[in-house]
């Protein structure tokens, strides 16, 4: 009898022969039906991964359950976008792949019956948190006033991904703040007002000086301009 790997799942038993072992990552359960399409898996396996995706996959402790997302990830990327790290997890009702690129966080679910993705641009992420349980952990993303939680994440890979994103989020302010603006020039101030008289004696003295100025002006010693200027100055002290 040929060697085979027997995998148990509930009441199902799946035998994977040596030539089919690569399909282990590519099965899904829908209701009570166990679905697997070996020809499709083999065709996908013949296509090599892009170097950056392959490097990110090599950092994953396991790609179990995310094989379809990894193989189809390139189709979800923007032109020129580079993959830096990946980890499997559950977001909402979908189990898929959380991806860090040079531009965003991206969660991809590429099932046999449906495909979906959601992205979180780095510039819109206000914070990212990591919480660990006994075996798995959770990643919480706060972006644009919304909260997203990816659960069932492998502990070491999840923490490394969060640390990478947090460093990038913390450093984005340094790049977006721009040069420090010079402090505004002080507003021009008017000439200080003449000090007001502080006592009745001073007021009487000022009134007496105005009276004498009037006499000097009447006798022609002071011109109209000189009289008006000095009188105004003295009146400002009252």
pLDDT of residue 88: 96
CA 183 to chain centre: 28
Q: Which helix (H) or strand (E) holds 160?
A: helix 155-176
Taking alpha carbons only, the member of 46, 23, 45 closest to residue 36 is 23
pLDDT at 155: 92
pLDDT at residue number 173: 55
Q: How confident is the model at residue 198, as a pLDDT? A: 52
Q: Delimit the CATH 2.30.29.30 region(s) of the chain.
A: 50-173
Distance from chain centroid for Cα 129: 12
Task: Kindly report the CATH number that applies to the domain delimited by 50-173.
Answer: 2.30.29.30
pLDDT of 195 reads: 53
Nearest by Cα to 97 from 125, 63, 124, 129: 63
pLDDT for 20 equals 45
Structure tokens at 61: 């402790």
Residue 188 has a pLDDT of 61
pLDDT for 35 equals: 44
**pTM confidence score:** 0.56
Q: Over the chain (238 residues), what is each successive 10-residue block's mean pLDDT?
A: 46 49 43 42 65 95 89 95 96 93 95 90 94 93 93 94 94 50 58 56 79 79 81 77
List Cα–Cα distances, 124 to 62, 82, 119, in angstroms: 29, 19, 10
Location of structure tokens 């004696």 = 201
pLDDT at position 81 is 96
123, 103 Cβ separation under 8 angstroms: no
pLDDT value of position 102: 95
């Amino acid at each position: 009898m040929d060697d085979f790997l027997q995998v148990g799942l509930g009441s199902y038993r799946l035998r994977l022969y040596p030539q089919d072992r690569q399909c282990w990552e590519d099965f899904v359960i829908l209701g009570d039906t166990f679905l697997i399409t070996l020809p499709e898996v083999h065709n996908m396996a013949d296509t090599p991964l892009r170097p950056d995706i392959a490097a990110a996959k090599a950092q994953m402790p396991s790609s179990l359950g995310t094989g379809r997302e990894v193989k189809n990830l390139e189709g979800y990327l923007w032109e020129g976008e580079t993959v830096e790290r990946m980890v499997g997890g559950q977001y909402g009702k979908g189990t898929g792949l959380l991806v860090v690129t040079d531009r965003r966080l991206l969660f991809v679910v590429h099932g046999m019956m449906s495909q979906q993705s959601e992205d979180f641009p780095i510039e819109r992420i206000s914070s990212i948190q990591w919480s660990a349980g006994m075996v798995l952990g959770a990643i919480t993303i706060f972006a644009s006033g919304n909260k997203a939680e990816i659960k069932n994440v492998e502990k070491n890979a999840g923490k490394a991904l969060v640390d990478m994103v947090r460093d990038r989020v913390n450093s984005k302010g340094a790049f977006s703040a721009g040069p420090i603006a010079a402090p505004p020039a002080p507003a021009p101030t008017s000439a200080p007002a003449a000090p007001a008289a502080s006592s009745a004696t001073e007021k009487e003295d000022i009134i007496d000086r105005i009276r004498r100025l009037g006499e000097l002006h009447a006798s022609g010693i002071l011109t109209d301009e000189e009289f008006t200027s000095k009188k105004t100055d003295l009146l400002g002290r009252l």
